[in-house]
């Protein structure tokens, strides 16, 4: 594998780890629940009411 390939794989692994860490932190700080709580109510901005 050339130098470019190694850098790309390193970036992929780093981002994968960052994504996993963010998702874990997100679940821990109730981010999933926050998204759900917003999504189960009509978003007045989205529909153009304001």
Partner 1 sequence: MHISGRRYTQLIAAVLYNCNFRGFVTGEIYKGEVKGICTPGLNCYSCPGAVMSCPLGSLQTGLLSSKYKFPYYILGTLLLFGLICGRFICGFLCPFGFLQDLLHKIPTPKLKKNKVTRILSYAKYGILVIFAILIPLIRLEPGFCKYICPAGTLEAGIPLVIRNEALQKLISFLFSWKVLVCIGILIACVFIFRAFCRFLCPLGAIYSLFHPIAFFGIRVDPEKCIHCNACIRNCDMDVKRVCDHECIQCGKCKKHCPVDAIYYGAGRRSFSKKEKLKQTDS
The number of beta carbons lying within 10 Å of the beta carbon of residue 26 is 14
Nearest distance, CB of residue 10 and partner 1, angstroms? 10
Nearest distance, CB of residue 3 and partner 1, angstroms? 10
Helices (H), ranges, 1-50: 3-28, 31-39, 44-47
User: In degrees to the nearest 10, what's the CA dihedral of 22, 25, 27, 29?
Assistant: -130
Nearest distance, CB of residue 14 and partner 1, angstroms? 10
Residues that bind partner 1 (CB under 8 A): 1-2, 4-5, 8-9, 11-12, 15-16, 18-27, 29, 31-36, 38-50
């Amino acid at each position: 594998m050339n130098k470019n390939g190694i850098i790309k794989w390193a970036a992929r692994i780093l981002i994968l780890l960052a994504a996993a860490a963010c998702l874990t932190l997100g679940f821990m700080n109730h981010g999933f629940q926050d998204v759900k709580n917003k999504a189960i109510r009509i978003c007045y901005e989205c529909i153009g009411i304001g």
